[in-house]
C-alpha cells in the first residue's frame, strides 16, 4: 500500500460469504443414542434401543447397522442391517436366528431384540445410522451383561426407597389434613349447638319474664282484695261485739 493511500475496509460481500461458510453449513453431523449398558438373564430376551437425531427429514435411503464385539474380543462383526425399508439378519454368527427388528424409521427408532440370551452374548453392540444426505456422525455403543439372575440395580433400589419415603410423607400429610378437617367440623357443630342452646335459654327467660310481668298486677289485686275483705270482716266482728255489749 502506498504511503498516504486510504486504508481499505473488508468487503461486506466477503464477510457474508465467510459467515455463511462457517455458520450456515448445509449439513450437520447425525447423533446416535443408545443405553450405556443393559442387563439380561440367561434364556430371557433383551431390547437394544437405538435412536438418532438428524437435521434432515427421514430419508427413504435411511439405514441402520448393528455390530457386535464379544467380551474380550478385538474385532466387531455385523449382525444386523436395515436398508431400503427391509431388515436383513446376517446368516453367520450366533445371533442369526435370535434377532428381531422392532424399530420404526419414521420415529427415528432402530431398536432390535435379542432372544434366548446366553453367557456368550456378553459384549459390546454398536448402532450406526445413515440418513442421506446426513451421513456424518459418531456411532453409539451399548454393553450387554448376561447373568444367571438379573441383579437389582442400586438406582432401582434407591428409587424404590425414595418413592416409599415420599409415599409415607404424602400419607401422613393427607392424614393430618383429614384429622384437622374432622376437628374443625366437630368444633363448628359444637358451636352451632351452643348458639342454639343460648338462643333457646334467652327465649325462655324472656317468656318467663313477660309471664311474671303479666301475673304481678293480678297478684297485687288479689292481695288488695284479701286485705279489704279481711278489714271488712274485722270491722263487722267489732261492730257485733259492741252491739252485744250495749244489749247487756
In angstroms, rounded to a whole number, what is the distance separating the alpha carbons of residues 103 and 137? 20
Are the C-beta atoms of 78 and 67 separated by less than 8 Å?
yes
pLDDT of residue 197: 83
pLDDT of residue 3: 45
pLDDT of residue 100: 95
pLDDT of residue 160: 79
| The pTM of the whole model exceeds 0.75 | no
Length of the chain: 248
Could you check whether the bond before residue 25 is cis, i.e. omega within 30 degrees of 0? no
pLDDT of residue 8: 44
| C-alpha cell recorded at residue 231 | 278489714
How are strands ordered across the β-sheet holding 51-53? 51-53, 30-33, 137-138
| C-alpha cell recorded at residue 235 | 270491722
Burial of residue 110, with CB atoms counted within 10 A of its CB: 0-12 exposed, 13-18 middle, 19 or more buried? buried
Q: What letter would DSSP give residue 188? A: H
Task: Please count the helices (runs of H) and the strands (runs of E) in the chain.
Answer: 2, 12
CA 153 to chain centre: 24
pLDDT of residue 114: 96
The residue whose grid cell reads 460469504 is: 17
In angstroms, rounded to a whole number, what is the distance separating the alpha carbons of residues 9 and 87? 58
pLDDT of residue 17: 40
Nearest to 51 by CA among 114, 123, 129: 129
Write the CA distances from 151 to 68, 101, 124, 158, integer angstroms.
23, 27, 19, 14
Ordered per-residue pLDDT tens for the chain, 248 residues: 444 444 444 455 545 444 444 443 445 689 999 999 999 999 999 999 999 999 899 999 999 999 999 998 889 999 999 999 999 988 777 898 899 999 999 999 999 999 999 999 999 999 999 999 998 889 999 999 999 987 666 456 667 778 889 899 989 999 999 998 998 888 888 888 888 887 776 666 666 666 555 555 555 566 666 677 766 676 666 665 555 555 55
| C-alpha cell recorded at residue 3 | 504511503
Amino acid at each position: 500500500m502506498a504511503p498516504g493511500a486510504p486504508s481499505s475496509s473488508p468487503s461486506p460481500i466477503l464477510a457474508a460469504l465467510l459467515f455463511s461458510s462457517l455458520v450456515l453449513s448445509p449439513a450437520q453431523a447425525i447423533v446416535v443414542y443408545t443405553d450405556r449398558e443393559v442387563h439380561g438373564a440367561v434364556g430371557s430376551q433383551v431390547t437394544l434401543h437405538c435412536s438418532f437425531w438428524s437435521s434432515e427429514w427421514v430419508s427413504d435411503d435411511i439405514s441402520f447397522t448393528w455390530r457386535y464385539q464379544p467380551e474380550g474380543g478385538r474385532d466387531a462383526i455385523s449382525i444386523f442391517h436395515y436398508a431400503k425399508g427391509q431388515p436383513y439378519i446376517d446368516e453367520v454368527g450366533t445371533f442369526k436366528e435370535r434377532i428381531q427388528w422392532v424399530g420404526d424409521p419414521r420415529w427415528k427408532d432402530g431398536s432390535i431384540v435379542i432372544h434366548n440370551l446366553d453367557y456368550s452374548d456378553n459384549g459390546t453392540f454398536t448402532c450406526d445410522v445413515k440418513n442421506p444426505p446426513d451421513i456424518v456422525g459418531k456411532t453409539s455403543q451399548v454393553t450387554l451383561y448376561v447373568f444367571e439372575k438379573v441383579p437389582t440395580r442400586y438406582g432401582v433400589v434407591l428409587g424404590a426407597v425414595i418413592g416409599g419415603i415420599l409415599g409415607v410423607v404424602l400419607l401422613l400429610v393427607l392424614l393430618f389434613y383429614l384429622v384437622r378437617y374432622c376437628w374443625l367440623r366437630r368444633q363448628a357443630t359444637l358451636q352451632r349447638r351452643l348458639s342454639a342452646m343460648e338462643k333457646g335459654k334467652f327465649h325462655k327467660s324472656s317468656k318467663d319474664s313477660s309471664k311474671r310481668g303479666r301475673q304481678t298486677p293480678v297478684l297485687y289485686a288479689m292481695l288488695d282484695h284479701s286485705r279489704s275483705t279481711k278489714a271488712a270482716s274485722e270491722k263487722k266482728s267489732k261492730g257485733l261485739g259492741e252491739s252485744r255489749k250495749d244489749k247487756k
